Amino acid sequence: MSAIPLIEFKNITKRFGSQTVLNKVNLQIYEGQVTTIIGLSGSGKSVLLKHIIGLLKPDEGTILFRGKPMAEMKKSEVRESLAQISYMFQGNALFDSLNIYDNIALPLIETTNLKKAEINRRVMARIEQTELTEATYKFPSELSGGMQKRAALARALITDPRIVLFDEPTTGQDPVRKNAILSMIAQYQRKFNFTAIMVSHEIPDVYFISNRILALYNKTIVFQGTPEELGNFDHPFNDEVIHSLEGLQKELTGLYSKRQFKMLKHVQLKRRESGENYCIAVFTLLDLDTIISVLGHDAAQEVIHSMGVYIDKHFGAIGGFSTRRKSNEFVTMLPFSDLAETESILKDFVTDFQAQGIRDIWAGAQKLAPSDKCVDFAILAGIAEGPPVAEIDFIIELAKSQQKEIGRLRCAAKE
Amino acid sequence: MEVTENNQHHTEAEEKYLPGMSLTRPFTFIGEKVIGWINVLGTATIFLCLALWKTFRPKQFSKVIAQIYYIGARSTTIIILVSLFTGMVLGLQSYHALIKFGAVGGLGALVSLSLIRELGPVLTAIMITARAGSAITAEIGIQRISEQVDALHTMRIDPFRYLISPRIIAAIISFPLLTAVFDFIGIIGGYISGVALLGLNAGVYSHSIQGNVDMKDLTDGFIKAIVFAVIVATVCCYQGYFVHMRKDSHGAKAVGMATTSAVVTSCVLVLVSDYVVTSLLLI
């Protein structure tokens, strides 16, 4: 992390008429990171984002870009700074009278002197990367919400910006597509190394891809730090915002968030005063990036989602609870089982998984993948036992070190 | 009314009924309205100047051509229809009026001068306002409320250069051309009713036109067409561009209100400016 923040807000206040939307907001955004601003709907997250791109001007306070106040910059400097930023609107803001190709090409046509052939090459590359080939010459109104989001993302990335602002990029998406969009943002952020600033209330999904979280509550920023640090943040924001959103998360995906997982683990273990051990199982989907590049984001997310549901279905029935720990990793806790019992449960799970589970997962992915594409994929599982006093992260690492392949699907087998 | 210390803090509702206030209220109302109009006039003038200034930027040609096609070429059919029947009814009415004075030989001059100096530019402007002007307001208005205009800002595409300038320039080019079409077809309409239907000699009709219409009549007509183009295009673009700032409505309703307002304001301003320009041209 560089010492000087890329963007810094100092005591920013914004009012619309008599209504104060932002009140003395202070924040820092660092280069090369994914920073997510979380907060409830209508809390002023989009207003905050619009200040960064210059669509709104603060009533009070200073915005600094690489340590320099924007208000004191020359017009050309401001232009140069803003030229590094792209913005993906919450409602996509695609031009409905232009087809997808023209929408994506627009910034290049209007703001560069590139030749037509070069523009075409760049646009087609982005269209392919965002899996919009079939929609190239369709109008936005002819596309699904998810495809429109991807078109908006492709347009935001077409000029190779250094900073990309995402205003609720997953709004209105189902859990699979929501994760696909977040994974796409994370993947492109790594690939193109831009600074991503995202506004979202997809908690805890955004934790997986964010380096820093900023919490907007009561018109001001009440927390800045890593997702892990947010876990220890003692503030009404946690009860009112995070817990309510995480509750919804459980309803949608059937999986607990990392935070809920930890809390539940704590409660479960407390109940076991006899000092009996508990078990942890860790499942990992191998080569996620290959799956994404061959089958696309939607199909890859479907694989992950189905895997999570399958694990939860099996282990939930015997008192286990699961969470997604990384983009391709699931952790299941079995508070009432010892190692021998867990081994036996896992054995049954593996038999069932090899016979049917992996095929079900592939069948789900196939619906969203191009019909001629296919990729080998494997799933690992490992278990470990720990005493109630042991740190769960240590037991998870132990389980990971014990991982073995429990299922592999080869292309030939799929055909 | 005796003002005691206790009732010095009047509520807003009470203030409306203070005796002194009721006398000044009409003046306050008129003053507010006038200041409002002056503000709008100033903003619209700056809006027009910015749009014209941004015309001279690269990559404008194709956009202007596209708008000429939309505002101009696609309005041709309706202009031909309206001008034909305007010319025919003008010929018909004028024939019966002139015959009373034995001056039916002047029908060609009456029809052509009425069309070239007055009806051509005015009716063309009103027809284009109804067809293209309303569409311009609605299109820009929808782009505004769906954040497409903001998206242009974020892509560093100047909305004035991209949306407004091409439309104003296209209107300035299209209005005189469509006025010429209107004049020509209108004169043919007058010929149909006067000569073909009522039996006036064709030579008398055309000779009357040739002898009475001079270059100044045509120039004045085209000057009016250009003035109307600037007014209509500016009003329609302005109403659409600032649709989000309307106080009377929001969203889709605001777009509807802005469209109505654009058409009504354009038509009124066309007629008012017609009188002003005519007066100036006759000096």
Interface residue of B148, B153, B250 to substitute, partner A, most A CBs within 10 Å: B148
Domain check: are A154 and A278 in the same one?
no
Cα gap A172→A149, rounded to integer Å: 10
pTM over 0.80: no
pLDDT confidence bin for A291, thresholds 50/70/90: confident
What's the pLDDT score for residue A187? 80
Say what angle helices B76-101 and B165-191 make with each other, to 10 degrees: 40
What's the pLDDT score for residue A260? 61
B156–A96 CB contact, under 8 Å? no
pLDDT confidence bin for A414, thresholds 50/70/90: very low
B162–A107 CB contact, under 8 Å? no
Domain check: are A240 and A308 in the same one?
no
What's the pLDDT score for residue A329? 82
B151–A82 CB contact, under 8 Å? no
What's the pLDDT score for residue A239? 65
Domain check: are A243 and A261 in the same one?
no
A357-378 average pLDDT score: 74
CA angle (A395 as vertex; A390, A396 as ends), nearest 5: 140
| Tens digit of each residue's pLDDT (9 = 90 or more) over B4-52 | 444 444 455 555 555 566 778 888 999 999 999 999 999 999 999 998 8
Q: Which of the given ranges, A71-75, A385-389, B120-124, B153-157, has the highest pLDDT on average? A: B120-124
A106–B153 CB contact, under 8 Å? no
Q: Decide if pLDDT at B233 tops 50.
A: yes
Residue for token pair 């300035």: B172
Tell me the Cα Rg of chain B. Answer: 25
Domain extents in chain B: 59-282
A95–B148 CB contact, under 8 Å? yes
Q: Decide if pLDDT at A415 tops 50.
A: no
Q: Decide if pLDDT at B111 tops 80.
A: yes
Amino acid A210 reads S
Q: Which of the given ranges, A177-186, A200-209, A210-219, has the highest pLDDT on average? A: A210-219
The 3-state secondary structure of chain A reads CCCCCCEEEEEEEEEECCEEEEEEEEEEECCCCEEEEECCCCCCHHHHHHHHHCCCCCCEEEEEECCEEHHHCCHHHHHHHHCCEEEECCCCCCCCCCCHHHHHHHHHHHHCCCCHHHHHHHHHHHHHHCCCHHHCCCCHHHCCHHHHHHHHHHHHHCCCCCEEEEECCCCCCCHHHHHHHHHHHHHHHHHHCCEEEEEECCCCHHHHHCCEEEEEECCEEEEEECHHHHHCCCCHHHHHHHHHHHHHHHHHHCCECHHHHHHHHHHHHHHCCCCCCEEEEEEEECCHHHHHHHHCHHHHHHHHHHHHHHHHHHHHCCCCEEEEEECCEEEEEECCCCHHHHHHHHHHHHHHHHHHHHHHHHHHHHHHCCCCCCCCEEEEEEEEEECCCCCHHHHHHHHHHCCEEEEEECHHHHC
Distance from the B149 Cα atom to the nearest Cα atom in chain A, whole angstroms: 8
Domain check: are A235 and A279 in the same one?
no
A111–B143 CB contact, under 8 Å? no
Please name the residues in contact with B90: beta carbons below 8 A apart, sequence gap of 6 or more: B110, B111, B114, B115, B119, B186, B189, B190
Residue A398: which CATH number?
3.30.70.270
Which candidate, A99, A91, A86, A88, places its Cα nearest to that of A127? A99
% of chain A residues with pLDDT over 70: 87
Give the range among A342-351, B73-82, B124-133 with minimum mean pLDDT.
A342-351
A93–B157 CB contact, under 8 Å? no
Final residue in a domain of this structure, among A229, A249, A269: A249
B59–A110 CB contact, under 8 Å? yes
Residues of chain A contacting B147 with CB distance shorter than 8 Å: 89, 91, 93
B157–A79 CB contact, under 8 Å? no
A2: in domain? no
B178-207 average pLDDT score: 94
Domain check: are A130 and A260 in the same one?
no
**Higher confidence at residue A321 or residue B110?**
B110
Domain check: are A194 and A334 in the same one?
no
Cα gap B2→A303, rounded to integer Å: 82
Strands across the sheet containing A60-65: A19-29, A7-16, A60-65, A68-69
A110–B147 CB contact, under 8 Å? no
What ipTM goes with this model?
A: 0.77
Domain check: are A307 and A210 in the same one?
no
Give the range among A106-120, A224-238, A242-256 with minimum mean pLDDT.
A242-256
**Higher confidence at residue B80 or residue A91?**
B80
Interface residue of B60, B142, B155, B255 to substitute, partner A, most A CBs within 10 Å: B155
Q: Decide if pLDDT at A2 tops 80.
A: no
Q: A78 and chain B: CB distance < 8 Å anywhere?
A: no
Domain check: are A245 and A259 in the same one?
no
Q: How many domains, chain A?
A: 2
Residues of chain B contacting A106 with CB distance shorter than 8 Å: 155, 157
pLDDT confidence bin for A226, thresholds 50/70/90: confident
Q: A82 and chain B: CB distance < 8 Å anywhere?
A: yes
What's the pLDDT score for residue A323? 79
Distance from the B50 Cα atom to the nearest Cα atom in chain A, whole angstroms: 18
pLDDT confidence bin for A155, thresholds 50/70/90: very high
Domain check: are A291 and A401 in the same one?
yes
CA of B139: which chain A residue's CA is closest? A97
Interface residue of B156, B250, B255 to substitute, partner A, most A CBs within 10 Å: B156
Q: A55 and chain B: CB distance < 8 Å anywhere?
A: yes
What's the pLDDT score for residue B6? 45
Q: Which of residues 1-30 of A touch B (CB under 8 A)?
A: none
* Cα distances (Å, whole numbers) of residue A221 to A6, A9, A56: 17, 10, 18
Interface residue of B154, B157, B247 to substitute, partner A, most A CBs within 10 Å: B154
Q: Is B44 helix (H, G, I), strand (E, B) or coil?
A: helix
A1: in domain? no
CA of A78: which chain B residue's CA is closest? B156
CA of A98: which chain B residue's CA is closest? B148
Domain check: are A132 and A85 in the same one?
yes
Q: Decide if pLDDT at A203 tops 90.
A: no
A111–B155 CB contact, under 8 Å? yes
Q: Which of residues 90-119 of A touch B (CB under 8 A)?
A: 91, 93-97, 106-107, 109-111
Interface residue of A46, A106, A110, A162 to substitute, partner B, most B CBs within 10 Å: A110
What's the pLDDT score for residue A304? 78
What's the pLDDT score for residue B55? 83
Of B59, B147, B156, the CB nearest to A89: B147
Amino acid A163 reads I
Residue A216: which CATH number?
3.40.50.300
Final residue in a domain of this structure, among A249, A279, A309: A249
Distance from the B22 Cα atom to the nearest Cα atom in chain A, whole angstroms: 28
| Tens digit of each residue's pLDDT (9 = 90 or more) over B237-283 | 999 999 998 888 888 899 999 999 999 999 999 999 999 999 999 87
Give the range among A119-123, A192-196, A265-269, B177-181 with minimum mean pLDDT.
A265-269
CA of B145: which chain A residue's CA is closest? A93
Q: Find residue A196's DSSP bridge partners.
A: A34, A164
In degrees and rounded to multiples of 5, residue A143 shows phi and psi of -105, 160
CA of A85: which chain B residue's CA is closest? B154
What's the pLDDT score for residue A250? 54
A93–B139 CB contact, under 8 Å? no
A140-160 average pLDDT score: 88
pLDDT confidence bin for A263, thresholds 50/70/90: low
What's the pLDDT score for residue B83? 95
Final residue in a domain of this structure, among A214, A249, A284: A249
A1-8 average pLDDT score: 78
pLDDT confidence bin for B109, thresholds 50/70/90: very high
B139–A97 CB contact, under 8 Å? yes
B155–A55 CB contact, under 8 Å? no
Domain coverage including residue A36 = 7-249
Domain check: are A200 and A293 in the same one?
no
* Cα distances (Å, whole numbers) of residue A343 to A90, A272, A286, A338, B159: 47, 21, 22, 9, 65
Cα gap A155→A380, rounded to integer Å: 38
Domain check: are A232 and A268 in the same one?
no
